């Protein structure tokens, strides 16, 4: 029996997928679109391309989760999303982003992603999906 994933989780995943797609494009092809003052040279290119590859992998995982609609796999994707956002949330104030951005990460991303993770785990466990 296939359980339907709640619409709010799919919408959140679409938003995350959109952000990851833009970040992947920007880091690979146009770093100045997200980091206008960034000096892209031989010394910094490895860092930018590493970020791009991280975002590309997360984008693929997000797309697979959205297409498959499998609660167990989807919960894995949201676990990764929430762990990534938790790190970003704490890095931003350290780099001058301020506490407002910290709370935006917390309220807009981290809390919904953790909630989605637990909801998807519950769905997976109720449907008897193997752990």
pLDDT > 80? residue 75: yes
End-to-end Cα, the chain, rounded Å: 16
pLDDT > 60? residue 131: no
Spatial CB neighbours of 131, under 8 Å, sequence gap ≥ 6: 72, 124, 125
Instruction: Identify whether the C-beta of residue 6 lies closer than 8 Å to the C-beta of residue 48.
Output: no
**pLDDT tens-digit map of 35-69:** 888 888 888 888 889 999 999 999 999 999 999 99
Pairwise pLDDT comparison (71 vs 1), residue with the higher score: 71
In 3-state terms the chain splits into helix, strand, coil percentages (rounded to 5) of 80, 0, 20
Please give the model's pTM, rounded to 2 decimal places: 0.85
Pairwise pLDDT comparison (17 vs 105), residue with the higher score: 17
**pLDDT tens-digit map of 15-28:** 999 999 999 999 99
- Listing DSSP states for 57-100 in one string gives HHHHHHHHHHHH--HHHHHHHHHHHHHHHHHHHHHHHHTT-HHH
**pLDDT tens-digit map of 61-71:** 999 999 999 99
């Amino acid at each position: 029996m296939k359980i339907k994933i709640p619409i709010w989780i799919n919408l959140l995943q679409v938003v995350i997928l959109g952000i990851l797609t833009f970040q992947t494009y920007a880091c690979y092809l146009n770093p100045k679109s997200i980091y206008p003052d960034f000096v892209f040279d031989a010394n910094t290119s490895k860092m930018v391309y590493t970020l791009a590859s991280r975002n590309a992998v997360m984008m693929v995982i997000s797309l697979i989760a959205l297409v498959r609609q499998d609660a167990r796999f989807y919960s894995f994707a949201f676990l990764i999303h929430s762990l990534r956002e938790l790190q970003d949330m704490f890095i931003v104030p350290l780099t001058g982003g301020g506490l407002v951005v910290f709370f935006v990460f917390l309220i807009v991303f981290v809390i919904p992603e953790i909630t989605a993770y637990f909801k998807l785990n519950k769905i997976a466990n109720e449907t008897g999906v193997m752990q």
